[in-house]
Amino acid sequence: MNAVLGRGTCGGHLTLLFTVEDSSEDDMFQGSLGAGICLEDGIEAIARGKKGDFELTVDFLSGTGNQEMYRQILDLLAEEISDFKEYTWDIAIKMRLPASHGFGMSAAGAISSSIAFQRALGLPHEESLRRAYRNAHRIERINSTGLGDVTALAYGGVELRVKPGSPFSGKKLETGPGVAKSWKKSADLVLAWRSNPGRHTSEYIDNSEWKSLISKAGKTEMEKLTKGEWNYSRWKDLLDSATHFSNNSGLASDASRARLMEKARKAVSTVEFANEVSVMFCMLGESVVILPNKLDSNLSLDKLPSELEKQGLESTITKIGNLV
């Protein structure tokens, strides 16, 4: 029998501010309030199945990641749809951004692979998308690799997460409990990071002291951002709140992050962009995003990567992701 093939893609996501909402015993209701930016670049997954024993081989064509996560995704699908168990599976993963740097790659990998597996079996499009987001959220919570990335990616663009939890839930794949608002305006941005990541996300979101500091700072900024309409006119508000959050949560005071910020700002100053862009931390990785202060400025950021490289940082230019 010929092999079945399916492809899935999902952009990354960076969080600028957030709260930790994990008190519920039901992981579908765990998550975060907050704001961030969905990215055009992320992960492409190609799934291939042939009739045989239920097994999975994971091949990273570029980048590296957690093979076990992809097995968890396939196991969740097989629990619900027994046809998956009739195949021996291979999945090829192409990563356009590095893992464990605050770019939502675990969420993007879980979503894109789930879509790929389901498309290989010809499952309905909308049903597959909802199931992919639901299962990805569950895996993120099981592994403590993320809180709100999946809900953000289910909306796209520049998102404001106003209710915590999975974007879809239950056997009927109903909408919610997680809810976000989002808008899109075309703009380039630069991501910069150190080769060796620092602390894992779980070291913050599973620590009671950090959770308290982060959530207090996040809720203060969310009170501001949820007032009024959420559209591109709120860009400056978002940048201001992200700065306040990183300072008030204590996350900016980490010595390693502070050095990273210093290097990024030096590169920005060298190309004389200090008054044109803002440098923000990507939560919770050791990375920053360099954003235009005005979305309609048409500012070219092409000079920045070479200057960031001189500071010992890796970088890439990407764009705000589309609305879903």
Chain segment 252-267, per-residue pLDDT in tens: 888 888 999 999 999 9
The pLDDT-based confidence of 77 (bands split at 50, 70, 90) is very high
Residue 197 has pLDDT above 80, yes or no: no
What pLDDT score was predicted for residue 154? 98
The helix or strand, by DSSP H or E, that contains position 88, with its residue range, turns out to be strand 87-95
What pLDDT score was predicted for residue 201? 64
In this prediction, what percent of the chain has a pLDDT beyond 90? 86
d(CA 210, CA 1): 53
Q: What is the mean pLDDT of residues 181-204?
A: 84
What pLDDT score was predicted for residue 202? 66
Q: What is the mean pLDDT of residues 141-158?
A: 96
Q: Where are the alpha helices (DSSP H) in the chain?
A: 67-80, 105-120, 125-143, 149-155, 202-205, 208-225, 235-248, 255-270, 304-310
Residues 181 and 160 sit within 8 Å (Cβ to Cβ):
yes
Mean pLDDT of the chain: 95
Q: What is the mean pLDDT of residues 110-127?
A: 98
Go through the chain and tell me how many residues it has: 324
Between 304 and 286, name the one with better pLDDT: 304
d(CA 134, CA 111): 9
Cα-only R_g, the chain: 19
pLDDT in tens, 216-240: 999 999 999 999 999 999 999 999 9
What pLDDT score was predicted for residue 196? 74
Residues 289-299 as b or e (16 or more Cβ within 10 Å = b): bbbbeebeeeb
- In this predicted structure, which of 99-108, 139-148, 169-178, 203-212 has the lowest mean pLDDT? 203-212
Residue 200 has pLDDT above 80, yes or no: no
Tokens of 91: 């999945």
Between 196 and 160, name the one with better pLDDT: 160
3-state secondary structure of 98: coil
Residue 129's φ and ψ, nearest 5 degrees, are -60, -50
Indicate whether this model's pTM tops 0.85.
Answer: yes
Residue 293 has pLDDT above 80, yes or no: yes
d(CA 33, CA 171): 25
Q: What is the mean pLDDT of residues 28-37?
A: 97
Domains belonging to the chain, first-starting first, are 4-182 (3.30.230.10), 188-319 (3.30.70)
